[in-house]
Structure 1
């Protein structure tokens, strides 16, 4: 009863903020005698990329940050006190080695966790893609860095793009932001506020050549076989196209009435038969990566809130849990090394420290690469997950971090296997 009164008088946001400040003070005491960055054995901390008083970050881990030559790495740059609802984010790139920064555009369509889904074109040099707002609509832009101009503007924002650049997939970014702050965009109002599972909303297919879109998977269809009596609203997040472009995975999520928690289903759509298969509907799926065209590496939470990594086979729907005492925390995995290894990270653990690590799927060997402090003053949607990303050649690993100065910055380490 007392807790409810305090929450009503002070407000949950202020209570959370006070808790984070207290945590930060405790962390600082620890950091007086311990490093904010601790590099693992054989790991080389190559370069840091930051700007005074600004956040510099890439965003999610499921997109390549480097160009083909691995000479430039894309970033978002914004003021320390930026508001995703009203402020623009600058888009630019750093030269690897020299650290020279070049700004090329700005956008209204960005969020703290996934940025503007900024990425390089799948195969055209000097071309980048990013989401923006144009005439009260979310759009995607194709920008030519060599000519400093926008080449094309597409009819909706892109969530993911096919490897051959023939199609893109999208969703309602305003609905996503409302139901999962930090992952969608808040510039434009969500017109589906009162809809539990709209028939005309869900996953959209965009024909890039014709610049036309159609609904591919509706929320109404997904919700039709959900019997949960506590359902509040349904939405989509985390769309990821397979390496061959013939299918894609996504999370079907629904919020619960009077509850801050949610339920998830891991789904895969096949362009071959046009059907949606549900791979997981009991455990709460969290993060993912395609291991190959048929298998997915996924992190999960069970009903007891225990966390683990597992591999799903999309053909036979088998699930294999990776049994290892170190793989007991949620993270953001990326497969590399011809499917033998993956890198991932942890959320802040003791004293606010996070770890980026490598795991050998063949020998089951866990290797910590770097430990970084996570500033407790950035929390909820503004938090900074490490989101480690491996470059195409597997030479570099980049990380978003708040280990220094209370702002997001980029850290680049050399993959010890390629030194």
Structure 2
């Protein structure tokens, strides 16, 4: 370890002692590598997107100069490319005025590409997306923002981010007010796909269409509706999203503390063959295991809360990690492990400690990678969840954390644990 990294590690361990043991895996005790430095905050965003390119050399990140408040229209993120093979050198490649604390600007590598990445931005009063080519150092603009990308790299799926911000602050974007803020279930907005080459888009489902479908036999049209958490199946043939609604709109602080109802839905890329995969009203974080199965934190009707493996377009379900994954978190499968290993985290406990861990499904074995203290000022909309994500090789876990007092990015090598 070079002197700079040794000093960082020493400071890290010193900072952790005051909050008790941090790296608790009995056989895999290790210190994470920090890849960004303050005083500015750095983070990536959500857990279900590629942060690291296929070669494993370049990681993506966002930089911001303030904390503790909602973004405003003129607050810009700096977009950076981090060279993990050159002492984590940060290179500025762009900026964004369309972002939130939880999912940043949907920054991510385009699947299958080692040269192109994408993020959302604001231009001429419209949300757009930017595609950056790292070798040519050029940027092209697509006419609509993206939420998730198809694994085949051909298209994106999106929804109205100002609608999300109106009804779930922190997950949408400032800058453009929701034009349908007085309409409970607009016909004009909903779910769309966009070709990543041409920019051509296609409307699939409106909020009004989903609001017209009763929930457990009850009419729900007289509520405020939005779509959230979109994801595309591994074969790029089906879309998965959350349909959410609230009975009323309140101020941001009150709304953050009040509940909403959720149902998880799948549909094909034509907006047809719609299926309510989880009608319980409790769906939370999820990931596709394969084109036919979804692992989701939920409480199915008549069953306990947990991570359930659901088969799409059927009522088949199986509880995963009943004894070890008992708290909601941000779950993904570790690449190249035949979906045997799950990467997950928790929300802060009563002592503000977040746990990062792996779970081996066949062996029913939990490996704790670390426990990280989250300072009390990182709460609510601007909290910093770990949102752990693997590199594309399945060898390292990257995550955002505030355990050293500021929002920064880290990674841990897990290759010796999962065998990649």
TM-score above 0.5: yes
> Equivalent residue for 2:418?
417
> Equivalent residue for 2:134?
145
> Equivalent residue for 1:124?
113
> Equivalent residue for 2:243?
252
SS in 1 for 2:223: strand
> Equivalent residue for 2:22?
37
Cα distance in 2 for residues equivalent to 1:35 and 1:248: 43
SS in 2 for 1:131: strand
- State whether residues 16 and 403 of structure 2, in contact with CA within 8 Å, keep that contact through their aligned partners in structure 1: no
**What is the Cα deviation at residue 157 of structure 1?**
0.2
SS in 1 for 2:285: strand
SS in 1 for 2:393: coil
Structure 1 residue 394 and structure 2 residue 398: aligned? no
In structure 2, the CA distance between the partners of 1:36 and 1:376, relative to structure 1 (3 Å rule), is: farther
SS in 2 for 1:411: strand
> Equivalent residue for 2:366?
366
> Equivalent residue for 2:11?
none
In structure 2, the CA distance between the partners of 1:140 and 1:76, relative to structure 1 (3 Å rule), is: same
Structure 1 residue 101 and structure 2 residue 90: aligned? yes
In structure 2, the CA distance between the partners of 1:302 and 1:242, relative to structure 1 (3 Å rule), is: closer
Cα distance in 2 for residues equivalent to 1:217 and 1:83: 30
Cα distance in 2 for residues equivalent to 1:261 and 1:241: 26
Cα distance in 2 for residues equivalent to 1:314 and 1:172: 25
Cα distance in 2 for residues equivalent to 1:143 and 1:74: 12
- Size of the aligned set, in residue pairs, is 388
In structure 2, the CA distance between the partners of 1:32 and 1:360, relative to structure 1 (3 Å rule), is: closer
**What is the Cα deviation at residue 96 of structure 1?**
1.7
Structure 1 residue 57 and structure 2 residue 43: aligned? yes
In structure 2, the CA distance between the partners of 1:253 and 1:83, relative to structure 1 (3 Å rule), is: closer
Deviations 1:318-369 (A, max 9, x none): 1222252222210000012111110100000131111011111112112211
Structure 1 residue 80 and structure 2 residue 63: aligned? no
- State whether residues 231 and 257 of structure 1, in contact with CA within 8 Å, keep that contact through their aligned partners in structure 2: no
Deviations 1:258-296 (A, max 9, x none): 772100001001237822100112141110111011100
TM-score by length of 1: 0.87
- State whether residues 321 and 361 of structure 2, in contact with CA within 8 Å, keep that contact through their aligned partners in structure 1: no
Cα distance in 2 for residues equivalent to 1:376 and 1:301: 29
In structure 2, the CA distance between the partners of 1:413 and 1:43, relative to structure 1 (3 Å rule), is: farther
Deviates more, 1:220-229 or 1:408-417: 220-229
In structure 2, the CA distance between the partners of 1:311 and 1:231, relative to structure 1 (3 Å rule), is: farther
- State whether residues 74 and 93 of structure 1, in contact with CA within 8 Å, keep that contact through their aligned partners in structure 2: yes
Q: Which of 162, 169, 183 lines up with 1:195 in the alignment? A: 183
- State whether residues 48 and 410 of structure 1, in contact with CA within 8 Å, keep that contact through their aligned partners in structure 2: yes
- State whether residues 384 and 401 of structure 2, in contact with CA within 8 Å, keep that contact through their aligned partners in structure 1: yes
SS in 1 for 2:283: strand
SS in 2 for 1:177: helix
Cα distance in 1 for residues equivalent to 2:126 and 2:221: 33
Structure 1 residue 270 and structure 2 residue 268: aligned? yes
Cα distance in 1 for residues equivalent to 2:119 and 2:348: 29
Deviates more, 1:184-193 or 1:121-130: 121-130
Q: Which of 317, 324, 327 lines up with 2:325 in the alignment? A: 327
Cα distance in 2 for residues equivalent to 1:301 and 1:55: 35
Q: Which of 225, 229, 233 lines up with 1:238 in the alignment? A: 229
Deviations 1:1-23 (A, max 9, x none): xxxxxxxxxxxxxxxxxxxxxxx
| Gapped regions of structure 1 (runs ≥ 5) | 1-29
Cα distance in 2 for residues equivalent to 1:69 and 1:113: 26
> Equivalent residue for 1:344?
344
TM-score by length of 2: 0.87
**What is the Cα deviation at residue 248 of structure 1?**
1.1
Deviates more, 1:246-255 or 1:336-345: 336-345
Cα distance in 1 for residues equivalent to 2:16 and 2:31: 20
- State whether residues 402 and 409 of structure 1, in contact with CA within 8 Å, keep that contact through their aligned partners in structure 2: yes
Structure 1 residue 294 and structure 2 residue 282: aligned? no
CA RMSD in angstroms, aligned pairs only:
2.3
**What is the Cα deviation at residue 33 of structure 1?**
4.1
In structure 2, the CA distance between the partners of 1:355 and 1:142, relative to structure 1 (3 Å rule), is: same
**What is the Cα deviation at residue 35 of structure 1?**
3.9
